[in-house]
Structure 1
């Protein structure tokens, strides 16, 4: 029997037509995307891409104050940030070790709190050194102005021999005067940075000399320098009498740290504080003790002397 001859294969016209349709749709899509992108770029070129400035939220401002502090130098800001990071690490570790959130909170507060308590009196010592430096600077201004140079030139020249305690502030004052600042505003700014009544007396004398060009500036500066020396002697005597309460602050702080470290290492000692009631008791005891330490520290500090010169902004307003 003769077999039937195979039929010739027909071309697959449907598949070719489908492929051409897909290619056309792809080209059309790409073309549309390019058109949209071109229109968008044109709009951006006309109106720009910068967003309008928005006011900073209160939360961001609060965090910046916590992180950077107010009126701190770059060195003090680095110390502050290191203490904050150390407080976070100590709080997390204490929480994980004791499984008590209040213990973690107290440990976090202890990291910045212990240096704050141990360094009680350092600010007063710095203030005494600055007053002594202001008196010494007043005498140097008297000597330089006695040579016949103007007051502003005398201030600029005094930077070469400025006392170390206020060398930065004097350098800033000289730079402002050389930059064309109004002498009165620059001096008020300088007094605001020193923030002490003795410096206010010196600045007041210098401002009066700028306005009336009196001939007795040297005598006034010499008398203020003598008064500053007497003020330094008085403050150092008072500072010596405050040694005992400051020692009490340091002793109580160290003893508290030893007790806390010992208690945290003894599970049986910390067991009663593991409940919700125990955590409330721990929080109450910790808050009372921190408040007492802060009270004793405040008692060991002298009251801040009032100033009589206002800040430049307040004066201009």
Structure 2
């Protein structure tokens, strides 16, 4: 490609990216009023793909700037190498690589949530045994202010509903516990929520012992998950090393004219696209394996209890 063609390609790529980002940022509203977005499957897939390109807690403007930065980096790589596939791969890798390699962070967040659940069960048991609360509902309300952060919002919402609930107490407790199970969103959380609901109905004198048994069960689950993650750590490190080697190899090929010549043809670019797509597919597969398939839930708004109407 001549310098003029490279400049034209770079300018066209920047304009296309700017227009795409502008449409993405403005699609949600017109003149300040919400507009119903299409609900086609492709639209939902694109939204999910866009959602994982950055931290959901960060402003959308930061996410758009990050996307624009990586798009410009891709255009620069394309201009320098003459390989459009390499430029596209640079943009895609910059935007989605943190998500592809982020299974460890997701699993760690799940484990921390279960550890917080274990600590909360033990705290309620100690509160009941020490006479700091009369009944499980009061124990929930009393301990809500001293819950670890991963489940703090869910516990505080549950405490507020138990404290302010009126009418049919049985149905209200069931709805509150299902909502709590949905907030935790884990099968172990379903076990705790279902046990708490049964304890609220029975109000027997052995609730503290039941809570300690629940805490012991959650602790065993946490230990098992930590052992699994420790076994997977070496594989994840190997994947990162292989990715670094692959990226370095592409750079070396680009800097060596004799090796880079075959990739300057359309067939060479097609081969590069197939190879890089295979790498991306393997990364997605490894992420799914790393996260594992979550155990099916049985409690909550979509669980069997909600379907059958059982408490």
Task: Answer whether TM exceeds 0.5 for this pair.
Answer: yes
Residues 231 and 61 of structure 1: CA distance in aligned 2, closer, same or farther (over 3 Å): closer
Counterpart mapping for 1:98-113 below 5 A:
98-113=81-96
Between 1:296-305 and 1:189-198, the stretch displaced more is 296-305
1:121 aligned counterpart, secondary structure = helix
Residues 313 and 76 of structure 1: CA distance in aligned 2, closer, same or farther (over 3 Å): farther
TM-score calculated relative to the size of structure 1: 0.70
Count of matched residue pairs: 266
5+ long unaligned stretches in structure 1 = 1-49
CA–CA separation in structure 1 for the residues paired with 2:46 and 2:278 = 27
CA–CA separation in structure 1 for the residues paired with 2:76 and 2:290 = 33
Does the CA-based 8 Å contact 1:68-1:77 persist in structure 2?
no
Does the CA-based 8 Å contact 1:264-1:270 persist in structure 2?
yes
The residue aligned with 2:39 is 58
Are 1:257 and 2:247 matched, yes or no? yes
The residue aligned with 2:71 is 88
Q: CA deviation at 1:212?
A: 3.5
Counterpart mapping for 1:1-317 below 5 A:
55-58=36-39, 64-68=47-51, 73-75=56-58, 84-146=67-129, 147=131, 148-177=133-162, 180=165, 182-266=172-256, 268-311=258-301, 315=306
Does the CA-based 8 Å contact 2:145-2:156 persist in structure 1?
no
1:58 aligned counterpart, secondary structure = coil
Q: CA deviation at 1:284?
A: 0.9
Does the CA-based 8 Å contact 1:100-1:279 persist in structure 2?
yes
Residues 124 and 256 of structure 1: CA distance in aligned 2, closer, same or farther (over 3 Å): same
Stretches (4+) displaced over 6 A: 76-79
Cα-to-partner distance string for 1:127-170 (whole Å, 9 max, x where unaligned): 22221211111111222344343434322322321123322332
Cα-to-partner distance string for 1:6-55 (whole Å, 9 max, x where unaligned): xxxxxxxxxxxxxxxxxxxxxxxxxxxxxxxxxxxxxxxxxxxx9x9974
Q: CA deviation at 1:109?
A: 1.6
Q: CA deviation at 1:106?
A: 1.0
Cα-to-partner distance string for 1:154-211 (whole Å, 9 max, x where unaligned): 2232232112332233234334555659332232222222222221111001112333
5+ long unaligned stretches in structure 2 = 1-30, 167-171
Q: CA deviation at 1:300?
A: 4.2
Residues 239 and 104 of structure 1: CA distance in aligned 2, closer, same or farther (over 3 Å): same
CA–CA separation in structure 1 for the residues paired with 2:189 and 2:284 = 30
TM-score calculated relative to the size of structure 2: 0.71
2:192 aligned counterpart, secondary structure = helix
Does the CA-based 8 Å contact 1:117-1:250 persist in structure 2?
no
CA–CA separation in structure 1 for the residues paired with 2:221 and 2:288 = 22
Q: CA deviation at 1:110?
A: 0.9
Does the CA-based 8 Å contact 2:116-2:150 persist in structure 1?
yes
CA–CA separation in structure 2 for the residues paired with 1:222 and 1:114 = 41
